[in-house]
Amino acid sequence: MVGQAEKIEAVAERLGARAGGGRSLWADARRRFLRNRAAMAGLAILVFVALFALCGGFFAQWSNEELDYMVMGQVAELGGPSLETGHYFGTDDLGRDLFARTVQGTQISLAVGVIGALIACVFGTVYGATAGYVGGRTDGIMMRLVDIFMAVPYMFVLILLLVMYGRSITILFIGVGMISWMEMARIVRGQTLSLKGREFIEAAQATGVPGPVIIARHVVPNLLGVIAVYATLLVPLMILTESFISFLGLGVQEPLTSLGALISEGAGTIAYGTMWQLGFPLLFFVLTLFGFFFVGDGLRDALDPKDR
């Protein structure tokens, strides 16, 4: 999870040390990653979840919003998982097909996770690289600002944002992204500082290449490994955050749903004999999180090998 910052820094150091150097690092890493069983399992899980989210819709017998009047009102008795009714995962309390809803919820959760993590990474990288590259007083101010942002109770700000702008999925993306960019900015800045003194950057500077171009061409590419690791580990956090937001009822707007929303609905009714309403969404939720954790850990270990 995020607490692995110092490990990521280790990755960063290692990658930084070999910056500008050949492709053997990546080849090594790939080899190590492919040999890591947990990581490969994670990858397989993620592929499965992604396929489910993308193609599950083709198998659904019902849309995600249709009410099945045959089942409605007797969900505990008739709404269970069944091939006969076409509700493979059963139905929710309104008689809506849980399979279709889980597919759709997985899409939203993945989207929130991935886009949120991307926003955090892009913003954090640009911010950190700029601060590190420009240096001096700008750097001081920018990093002080990061310190300040770190102390903000984000969940509270996010709740405020959602209350203010209503249930907008864009706000959700940006909101969850905003929570996690600071740590990224710190790591990237540290790396940029150490890269700055390296000859290939100095050479670029000497030939008059403008700062932003140097950052984009020479600094950022050397940080891709760190970014990849950080992003992968960030995705599950984003998904967890979204699920909490959904629990508060501030999540995406019906008839859209997310895994978090489905789980919190399902968790409310566990005592009423409709366990499938919690079970199936939770299964995909857990699978997704595992997948990302394993792949993230695998990536980190692959890029930062230690003798085990």
Partner 1 sequence: MLTYILKRLAVAIPTLLLLIVVSFVLMHSAPGGPFTAERELPPEVLANLNAKYGLDAPLWRQVLNYVWGIVAHFDFGPSFVYKDRSVNEIIAQGFPITLTYGCLSFLVAVTVGVSLGIAAAIRQNSWLDYAAVGVSIGAQVLPNFVMAPILVLVFTLWLGWLPGGGWQGPEYWILPVVALSTSFMASIARITRSSMLEVLTQNHVRTARAKGLPERRVILGHALKPALLPVISYLGPAFVGMITGSVVVDIYFSTGGIGKAFVDSALNRDYAVMMGVTILMGALTILFNLVVDILYGWIDPKIRY
Partner 2 sequence: MTSKLHIAVSALALGVAAGAHAADVPDDVTLAENQAYTFWLLDGIPSLDPQINTTVEGSDVLRNLFEGLYNEDGQGALVPGVATEHTVSDDERTYTFILREDAVWSNGEPVTAADFVYAWRRLVDPATASEYAWYMELMQVENAAAVVAGEMAPEELGVRAVDDHTLEVTIENPLPYFPQMLVHASTFPVPQAVIEEHGDRWTRPENMVGNGAYTLTDRVIGERVVMEKSDTYWDAENTVLTELTGLIINDTNQALTRYLAGELDRVDIPPGQYPRLAEEYPDQAISVPENCSYTYIMNVGESGPEALKDPRVRKALSYGIDRDIIVDRILQGGQTSAYTWTHTSVAGFGAPEIDYAEWSQQERMERAAELLAEAGYGPDNPLELRLQYNTDEAHKRLAIAASQMLKPLGVNLILDNYEWKVHLSRMQNQEFDMARYAWCGDYNEASTFLNLFASYSGHNNGEFFNDAYDAAIEESKTAQDPLPLYQEAETILAEEMPIIPVYHYAQVFMLEEDMRGWPMENVQQTWYGKDMYRVAE
What does 93 bind: partner 2, partner 1, none (CB cut-off 5 to 8 Å by kind)?
partner 2
Task: Provide, rounded to whole angstroms, the least separation between the CB of residue 282 and partner 2.
Answer: 17
Task: Assess contact for 39 and 297: CB atoms under 8 A.
Answer: yes
Task: Assess contact for 104 and 257: CB atoms under 8 A.
Answer: yes
What does 83 bind: partner 1, partner 2, none (CB cut-off 5 to 8 Å by kind)?
none
Q: Which of 17, 47, 70, 163 binds partner 1 (CB under 8 A)?
A: 163
Site membership for partner 2, residue 254 (CB under 8 A): yes
Under rule CB under 8 A, which residues in 55-74 are in contact with partner 2?
A: 65-67, 69, 72-73
* One-letter-per-residue 3-state SS of 193-257: HHHHCCHHHHHHHHCCCCHHHHHHHHHHHHHHHHHHHHHHHHHHHHHHHHHHHHHCCCCCCCCCC
Under rule CB under 8 A, which residues in 182-221 are in contact with partner 2?
A: none
Q: What x/- string results for residues 233 through 252 when contact with partner 1 is judged by CB under 8 A?
A: ---x---x--xx--xx----
Q: Which of 208, 271, 306, 307 binds partner 2 (CB under 8 A)?
A: 271
Under rule CB under 8 A, which residues in 121-180 are in contact with partner 2?
A: 163, 166-167
Nearest by Cα to 222 from 4, 27, 23: 23
Q: Which of 151, 170, 207, 208 binds partner 1 (CB under 8 A)?
A: 151
Number of residues that bind partner 2 (CB under 8 A): 25
Q: What length does the chain have?
A: 308
Q: What letter does residue 79 receive in the DSSP assignment?
A: -
What does 55 bind: partner 1, partner 2, none (CB cut-off 5 to 8 Å by kind)?
none
Site membership for partner 1, residue 6 (CB under 8 A): yes
Residue listed under structure tokens 């759709």: 104
Paired residues of 91 in beta bridges:
97
Task: Assess contact for 76 and 92: CB atoms under 8 A.
Answer: no
Task: Provide, rounded to whole angstroms, the least separation between the CB of residue 251 and partner 2.
Answer: 9
Contacts of 102 (CB under 8 A, 6+ apart): 56, 89, 259, 262, 280, 281, 284
Nearest by Cα to 109 from 300, 303, 289, 304: 289
Q: Which two tokens stand for residue 4?
A: 């692995």
Q: Is 119 helix (H, G, I), strand (E, B) or coil?
A: helix
Site membership for partner 1, residue 155 (CB under 8 A): yes
Residue ranges that bind partner 1, judged by CB under 8 A: 1-7, 144, 147-148, 150-157, 159-161, 163-164, 236, 240, 243-244, 247-248, 260, 263-264, 267-268, 270-271, 278, 282, 285-286, 289-290, 293, 306-308
Residue ranges that bind partner 2, judged by CB under 8 A: 65-67, 69, 72-73, 75-76, 93-94, 96, 163, 166-167, 249-250, 253-255, 265, 268-269, 271-273
